[in-house]
Structure 1
Amino acid sequence: MSAALRIAVPIHSFEPGGVERVALGLCAAWQVAGAEVAVVLGRREGAMAPDAPSLNYLLEPEPIPTRGFETLWMMWRMIGYLRRNPADVIFCSGNTYAVVIAVLKLVLGRHCPPVAIKISNDLERRDLPQPVRWFYHRWLRIQGRLIDHFVGMAAPMRDEIARWVGVPDDRITIIEDPSLGEEQYAALCALPRGAVPPAGAHYLSIGRLARQKNFPVLLRAFALLADKTSRLTILGEGGERARLEKLARQLGIVDRVALPGHSNATSAALGQADCFVMSSDYEGVPAVTIEALAAGLPIASTACSVSMHGLLGDGAFGILVPPRDPAALAGAMADACVMPFDPAAARRAAAPFRLSQAAPRYLALFQSLTKSAKAAPA
């Protein structure tokens, strides 16, 4: 009998985030399939902690609070873990962990296990000033030299990764982002979906209250809508809350906007909405968009990634507009509520993004990387 595959996964904390939530779901599925999964955790705090799956979480006491320098702390944690414990492969769940992996590769050299990194965000990053963007693209090229394999979350990302990271096709694998568990997918598909009301539509957005999500653009777009009986709910928490609350007051929409904070019960919110809205400057394949499709909701979104056009069925499931344009987003929000829309087709489009589809494909990739690493000359 072959030995169980040993997978090490760095995770900063249980703070809400699509990257971490999807990663923990994958870890649970790999564990059920017989792999030995070690989640190297920076700190245990975070709103997702009560609902986190039962896994082998490896935690060391923080010498001092590490939230302000969690990336440096994770570098230290991963180097220490890998020096004491064997691992066959490292799974890097998103771009934000790439610098941790780069340091591991430089410090451990040939003793570092092979790494598969999931590209979780847009790589062109037009939101950045040109000088910063230039350095960011150089950094991507460095990643291409150090990291073994890159995973894109939807088919259009293959060309994006090849262009900006500079790696050949055999170092890129496309595995649709496993945003949905089977029970979650079934529950979202079972939500009743009637016609959007002619007035008083309920718009929903979900995400961290962070600059990347650009919720100020959403608030300004909502204020421009002709229908003053419509409502907007933004589910999420983060450092932008005070700024958003102040802006809502300035725009005179505070009585029609709800900011209830983070919630793990997004299905109920999706069931009560008439249209899903995304205002981000940049994304990868946003899990909340997949959830909205499974819930049978029309979508108004910024063109925040190369994958959005395909996700929206080339216009069948929603409307895309340029980022940072409140007037354009307002028009998309109004039009999405009256566009011809087939909820059943949207739900079928979300089906490939299920955990049950992705988990075994990741394990096959990890086995291949492990086999190649063992066959390489010492």
Structure 2
Amino acid sequence: MAAPSILIVLHDFALGGTERVAVRLAAAWAERGAAVTIFAGADTGPLRALAGDRVEIILAEPPIPRGRGSRTRLARAARALVAWRAFDGVFIPGNFHWPVAAALGGSGIPIVAQVSAALDKPQRGRLRQWAFEHRMRYLLRRVQAVVTLSDVARDQANRILRNAIATTIALPALADGNPPPTPIPNTRPPVVLAAGRLVPEKGFARLIAAFAALPDGSGRLVIVGDGPEADALRRQADALGIADRVELAGYVADIRPWLDTARLFVLASDFEGYPAVLVEALAAGRPVVATDCTPATRLLDLAGAGSVVALGNTAALAEAIARMLDQSPPDPGQLAASVAHHRIGAVAEAYLDLFAVVRA
């Protein structure tokens, strides 16, 4: 079968996990001979360069910036595009872009939609969860395949959609040339690293509170990322008397150099889909303490890979961090090997195989 022509619809090139995955997959598919086109509502955000020179980029005219009703306008513009331009398949990257799947359904082009965020959140409550599932069924009612990032999410998606069309393909969190892990440093005090957008649901306030419960000299907390909570988190650290032990380093383009300095990585979120940063931490050979916020914590079942604590339990989070810091460091190579299936090359091939199936 000839290499496919694949359309990816993105709102823009914002610095988000969904957008990063989509653009990296586009480049990987193009390298393997596929004709890949990204249709974007706006040429904003820093991720466009990741697509490389082999990916065609078409921008909506006039532009469609993010805002009220913008996803509906993006969906209409995408449908207008496929009305005159033929593609073998369409990739809908993540929950945020599902309205595009609804607009393109019935166009005759096979659609593969990705699940990027948690499908079942306890925080929603029963009524909101019912509404979410009803909307998901409506938006994805005419797609040919759904890709989830874990078997747990696959089973949830098939239940919600009442149709066994979901399949698991690993998150392409790692480059094929991802460097091998370095030895875990023996610095004193050890660095405990966390990363993400500084918003309440990422749990950084709880992490700082947990860190304050650790004895002086037991570690230094470094948080990389930016967001609206930055000043509040600094004030919290100061109020708890640990400002000298907490560093908010701001946004970084590449987390790997920071992981190389760390003894331990902590994911303290309230909920996550399948966070790339957890995979990146293990690929760097660093153990992880995580809240029970994502199916990706299954990766921590490997001996020495880390531990999982209950949501909302600050004391348990502090105890887990202290326990991991007291243990002998695990073998970094073993941790890295456990997530090798997240390399972009194998993931890109799995997607191309799926597109071949839905085309047939």
Is the shorter-chain TM-score for this pair beyond 0.5, marking a shared fold? yes
Pair 1:133–1:339, CA change in 2 (3 A): farther
1:53 aligns with 2:49: no
Inter-CA distance 255–181: structure 2 relative to 1 (3 Å threshold): same
Question: Would the alpha carbon gap of residues 111 and 280 (structure 1) be closer, same or farther in structure 2, given more than 3 Å must change?
Answer: same
Contact 1:200–1:229 (Cα < 8 Å) also in 2? yes
Q: Does residue 242 of structure 2 align to residue 246 of structure 1?
A: no
Paired AA for residue 158 in structure 1: R
Deviation by residue 1:4-41 (Cα, 9 ceiling, x = unmatched): 41111112222222221122111111101111111112
From 349, 362, 375, the equivalent of 2:351 is: 362
2:339 paired residue number: 350
Partner residue of 1:337?
325
Asked whether the equivalents of residues 182 and 332 of structure 2 are also in contact (C-alpha less than 8 Å), the reply is no
Once residues 12 and 370 of structure 1 are traced to their aligned partners in structure 2, the CA distance between those partners, rounded to angstroms, is 25
Q: CA RMSD in A?
A: 2.3
CA 1:69–1:192: 2 relative to 1, 3 Å: farther
Bigger CA drift: 262-271 or 73-82?
73-82
1:311 alignment partner in structure 2: 299
Match of 2:169 in 1: 175
Q: What is the match of residue 153 of structure 1?
A: 149
Counterpart AA for 1:13? D
Q: Provide the secondary structure at the position in 2 that maps to 1:7.
A: strand
Residue 311 of structure 1: CA displacement?
0.8
**Unpaired runs of 5+ in structure 1?**
372-378
SS of the equivalent of 1:319 reads: strand
State the aligned residue count. 358
CA deviations 1:235-285 (Å, max 9, x no partner) are 222333343333333333333222222222211111111111101122222
Measure, in 1, the Cα distance between the counterparts of 2:327 and 2:343: 27
Question: Equivalent of 2:310, from 310, 322, 325?
Answer: 322
For the 8 Å contact 2:92–2:100, the answer to whether it is kept is: no
Corresponding letter in the other structure for 2:174: L
What is the match of residue 31 of structure 1? 30
Which amino acid in structure 2 is aligned with residue 37 of structure 1? V
Take 1:157 and 1:293, find their aligned partners in 2: how far apart are those partners?
A: 21
TM-score, normalized by length of structure 1? 0.86
Equivalence for 2:98: 98
CA distance in 2 between counterparts of 1:63 and 1:351 reads 39
Q: Which has the higher helix share?
A: 1
Within-5 A mapping of 1:112-127: 112-127=108-123
Q: CA deviation at 1:134?
A: 2.4
Output the CA distance in 2 between the equivalents of 1:63 and 1:354: 34
Q: Which residue does 2:288 correspond to in 1?
A: 299
In structure 2, the residue corresponding to 1:234 is in which secondary structure? strand
Amino acid paired to 1:290: V
Among candidates 123, 133, 137, match of residue 133 of structure 2: 137
Instruction: Tell whether 2:182 aligns with 1:191.
Output: yes
Asked if 1 retains the 8 angstrom alpha-carbon contact of 2:263 and 2:286, the reply is: yes
1:375 is matched with which residue?
A: none
- Percent identity, please: 32
Residue 193 (structure 2) pairs with residue 204 (structure 1): yes
How far off is 1:182 after superposition? Answer: 1.3
The match for 1:81 is 81
Change (3 A) 1:51 1:363: closer
3-12 or 134-143, larger mean C-alpha shift: 134-143
SS in structure 1 at match of 2:289: strand
Q: Which residue of 2 aligns with 1:214?
A: 203
Cα 1:164–1:227 shift into 2, 3 Å: farther
Secondary structure at the aligned position of 1:145 is classed as coil
Residue ranges of structure 2 left out of the alignment (5+ in a row): none
Which residue in 2 is equivalent to 1:376?
Answer: none
How far does residue 126 in structure 1 lie from its aligned partner after superposition? 1.0
Instruction: For 1:331, give the aligned amino acid.
Output: E
Mapped partners of 2:68, 2:327: distance in 1: 45
Task: Please give the secondary structure, in 2, of the residue aligned with 1:282.
Answer: coil
The alpha carbon displacement at 1:50 in A equals 5.1
Matching residue within 215, 228, 231 for 2:220: 231
Shift of residue 315 of structure 1? 5.3
Report the alpha carbon displacement of residue 347 of structure 1 after superposing the two structures with TM. Answer: 0.8
Q: For residues 139 and 64 of structure 2, what CA distance do their matches in structure 1 show?
A: 30
What residue identity is the alignment partner of 1:80? Answer: A
Q: Does the Cα contact within 8 Å between 2:23 and 2:48 map onto a contact in 1? A: no
Structure 1 CA distance for aligned equivalents of residues 168 and 208 of structure 2: 35
Structure 1 position 228, deviation (Å):
4.5
Deviation of residue 229 (structure 1)? 5.2
Determine which of 243, 256, 272 is the counterpart of 2:261. Answer: 272
Q: What are the superposed Cα offsets for residues 351-370 of structure 1, whole Å, 9 maximum, x if unpaired?
A: 11111111111011111111
Give the Cα–Cα distance (whole angstroms) in 2 for the partners of residues 64 and 367 of structure 1: 32
Task: Give the superposition deviation at 1:149.
Answer: 1.0
